[in-house]
Amino acid sequence: MKKTISIALLALVATSGFSQTNKPKTAAASTVAPVEATAATATSTATKTVAPLTEDQKKQLKEINKDFKSSKAKIEADATLSADQKKSQIKELSKAKSTKIKGIVSPEQFQEIKANHKEKNKE
């Protein structure tokens, strides 16, 4: 009985020791917000500044995203489509979404939106 408890304790200590090696990665992920704030500050002091989105642009983007999500859900729920067909249709839908967004925002704003989207997907 004592051997079993000792082995369990040893396993617990060993696994907690291994999990500590991953903490710097999670600590880096939690510091993303300050880094973004620093990047935003650096961007604002650079010669090129990106204009913030107007309220009208925000409303239009929300509507585009809402339509995209509902259309994507319909495609994913369609049992008559194969996985490749679903992937292809979602890719086309995504391209159409990007085209609509490009029509609403400036090229600089689009690049910023795209960069924010990539950062969000990394997390």
Q: Where is pLDDT greater, at 31 or 108? A: 108
Please write the tens of the pLDDT for every residue from 46-84.
Answer: 445 678 889 999 999 999 999 999 999 999 999 999 999
DSSP-derived letter for residue 50 is P
Predicted structure pTM score: 0.56
User: CB–CB of 119/36 below 8 Å?
Assistant: yes
